[in-house]
Amino acid sequence: MMGLQALQRGRTGQLAGALAAAAVFLGAAATQAAAQTPQDRPGLSGEDFSALSRQLMPSVVNISTRQTVGGADGLPAFPPGSPLNEFNEFFGRDEEGQMRRQSSLGSGFIIDAQGHIVTNNHVIEGADEIDVNLSDGTVLSAKLVGTDPDTDLALLKVQPDSALAPVPWGNSDTAEVGEWVLAIGNPFGLGGTVTAGIVSARNRDINQGSFDDFIQTDAAINRGNSGGPLFNLRGEVIGINTAIFSPGSSGGSVGVGFSVPSNLARTVVSQIQEFGATRRGTLGVRVLDVDQGIAEAYGLRRAEGALVSQVEDDGAASAAGLEVGDLITQLNNQPVKAARDLSRIISVSTVGSKMSVRYVRKGREATTTVTLAPSANANAGSDEDDAETALEELSNIIGVQFRAIEDTDRRRRNIPRSVNGVVVDGIDNGSDALGKLRIGSIITEVNFQPVTSPEEAIAAAEEAARQDKPVLLQIWGSGQASFVSVRPK
């Protein structure tokens, strides 16, 4: 704000100089300046956030939790009157030897008149008792309705003695970078605190889980703000403040905070409210990101999409006809630019939802419809193990030597008889495969063609080279395939 005000003062000085030089220029410049002055933005035209803050503060709560554990230190409680009695409090124990400690302070917000309150899972995780502190000082005991650790969300329920002031959900998809936002919460246990900032970025992946799609903001968020709301200027919740980037041990704000988007949170909360847990559907696939070489091998210009590396038996994708090697470019009519986009799109869907899938298979586009299935754990595949080098070698246009799969390979690597392919036996210096392939890798397809011999692998590679495309190699793994693109010499 100070920078903007200083800029305006500087402009006034320039106009004063212009007045002395030419009155006509002053009139034109003043008209232009007036046209550019924002009249409807708080903080830029004499307005502030006080009215909005007064409206929203009663809807934001402070959350404190307690956890009771046994006397883990093995020492008895000191009795009343003992000179060491004061150490009971120091160790967090009562006179019966039980330990009671404050485990968490956080924030939350009221979403309906029935007393449902949204917060973060990590705020209440492991708590025996949860207290909700309203803005008027009322303290209510809360019941945990359910949690979703995958999105770090939790839903609480209180029995209010008087009417509550819920706040509405906003549409996080329409929140734009540069838009004003307010964060209200309980930083460092200080009680209701308002900070203002802007949406700094969208769709942030901070490696916290499969559903990372955070809103980034520079509104000051500190420890204790977790679970608190991020509001737009219409008083709607567009995010739940969850994490901060804070170098060092102080945990203070450096202007980089992250909020769970409201559209994701609203779906999760409604499922918890109805079922006590999420009912998130799954595709039943594992996918990989696409590099430029793989994209070109599929006939695409950009390195976008999600490459299917595993299809679960009896899963939604299998029932819809998707196969290993399919490159998904759209899901539910939304573009898939990276593998994590699948999780982001599915995160707001439920079991039984039907979704259209557009994909590329062996250079041709196709579509299908999947019906999301209940979540199931897929077995993770292991990386390829190294195999001993055999004598048979065959050089080719991609600088890779192949050999046939032998019985010793199948015994040592536990390769099923149903798996056909060739073994990578060597890689030439200068080959694009260096650093991408490993000696001993099992190649099952070359340029979308199944191969059973080195000759077939080389022929398929040469065909791709004639089409001026990178050569796409499908690599077998125990439970999961992977893919590598190699440019011809």
| 369: β partners | 356
Q: 381: which 2 tokens?
A: 């595949």
Query: Is 122 an annotated catalytic residue?
Result: yes
> CB–CB of 196/265 below 8 Å?
no
CB 474 within 8 A of CB 457: no
Comparing CA positions, the residue from 192, 74, 68 lying closest to residue 135 is: 192
Three-state secondary structure of 26-71:
HHHHHHHHHHHCCCCCCCCCCCCCHHHHHHHHHHEEEEEEEEEECC
| Residue type present at position 468 | D
Does the annotation count 116 as an active-site position?
no
Token duo for residue 477: 């793994």
Considering only CA atoms, which of 476, 473, 383, 398 is closest in space to residue 431? 398
Give CA separation, 260 vs 180, 208, 255, 474, 488, in Å. Answer: 17, 11, 17, 36, 44
* Bridge partners of residue 310, in order along the sequence: 286
> Which residue carries 């500087």 as its tokens?
10
CA-to-CA dists, residue 62 to 104, 123, 419, 420, 422, angstroms: 11, 11, 58, 61, 62
Q: Return left, alpha or beta for 437; rule: phi > 0 is left, psi -120 to 50 is alpha, else beta.
A: beta
Q: Which of 152, 326, 341, 432 is catalytic?
A: 152
Token pair 């409206």 is found at 55
CB atoms closer than 10 angstroms to residue 324 = 19
**428 counts as catalytic:** no
Amino acid identity for residue 144 in this structure: L
Among the listed residues 103, 122, 309, 425, the single catalytic one is: 122
- Nearest CA to 92 out of 116, 79, 115, 73 is that of 73
Q: Which of 107, 226, 253, 349 is catalytic?
A: 226
Q: Which residues are catalytic?
A: 122, 152, 226
